[in-house]
Amino acid sequence: MTIYEKAKSLVTAREAAEHYGLNVNSRGMAVCPFHDDHNPSMKLDERFHCFGCAEDGDVIDFTAKYFNLTLREAAQKLIDDFGGGEFTPDEPSPPKPPDPAKRCHDVLLDLEIRLHRQKRETAPQSMGDPITAEYAQNCQMYDFIVCLADLLSNGTEQEKTEAISYFTNGVLDCYEEALQKEVIEYGDIF
């Protein structure tokens, strides 16, 4: 629960206004403290609304405007005045760590696309052309990546865990570093 939720749970705009000295009649109307009002033109209930100057809001808005406070100060004042001042807001939940499995999938897909292209670019152009070492290496790396991606998607839980830890223990860092270069040497990564 936030400080704002807590303040609003303690008191309505009408109750707070009466407590702070506004004279609210039986129809829930009061002379508006926010404009030069002579006949009650502010309606107070859970919230407040002035039919004269259009001021409108909840109990925190009312208190902030009435005492010239920030919303946070107003909420704290309401807690002090109506809740005995005892309130500790919930700790905001810590940000979620990035999902390592998703990161692995993303990196593998990126590498798969790059290698597929490199394979095509280094492939022999016609039947008689020799297979270069570069092409052979690209094929090997491509197969390795596809295999790893398959393991990550369809392997047993243990295989998945091992694949992820293989990645997080160095491969991802090398990958980030390799991306800084124009040409990626796959020997740099694996």
Which of 4, 20, 34, 82 touches Zn ion (CB under 5 A)?
A: 34
Q: What six digits make up the tokens of 72?
A: 């946070």
Toward Zn ion, which CB reaches closer, 17 or 115? 17
CA-based nearest residue to 65, from 135, 42, 140, 73: 73
Interface pattern 44-83 for Zn ion (x via CB under 5 A): ------x-xx------------------------------
What sign results for the dihedral spanned by CA atoms 175, 179, 181, 187? Answer: positive
Closest by CA position to 78, among listed 88, 63, 66: 63
Q: Which amino acid is at 8?
A: K
Please state the closest distance from residue 32 (CB atom) to Zn ion, in A.
3
**Part in contact with Zn ion (CB under 5 A); list of ranges 3-11, 31-39, 70-78, 171-179:** 31-39
Closer of 54 and 127 to Zn ion (Cβ): 54
What distance lies between CA 190 and its chain's CA centroid? 33
Q: Are the beta carbons of 20 and 74 closer than 8 angstroms?
A: no
| 184, amino acid identity | I
Q: Is 32 near Zn ion (CB under 5 A)?
A: yes
- Position 35 contacts Zn ion (CB under 5 A): yes
* Among the residue ranges 27-35, 64-72, 130-138, 171-179, the one whose residues contact Zn ion (CB under 5 A): 27-35
Q: Please state the closest distance from residue 58 (CB atom) to Zn ion, in A.
A: 16
- Residue keyed to tokens 């499995």: 101
155 binds Zn ion (CB under 5 A): no
Q: What are phi and psi of 56, to 5 degrees?
A: -160, 145
Angle ∠(6,8,12) on CA atoms, nearest 5: 145
For Zn ion, the closer of residues 40 and 186 by Cβ is 40
Does position 31 bind Zn ion by CB under 5 A? no
| Residues lying near Zn ion in the complex (CB under 5 A) | 32, 34-35, 50, 52-53
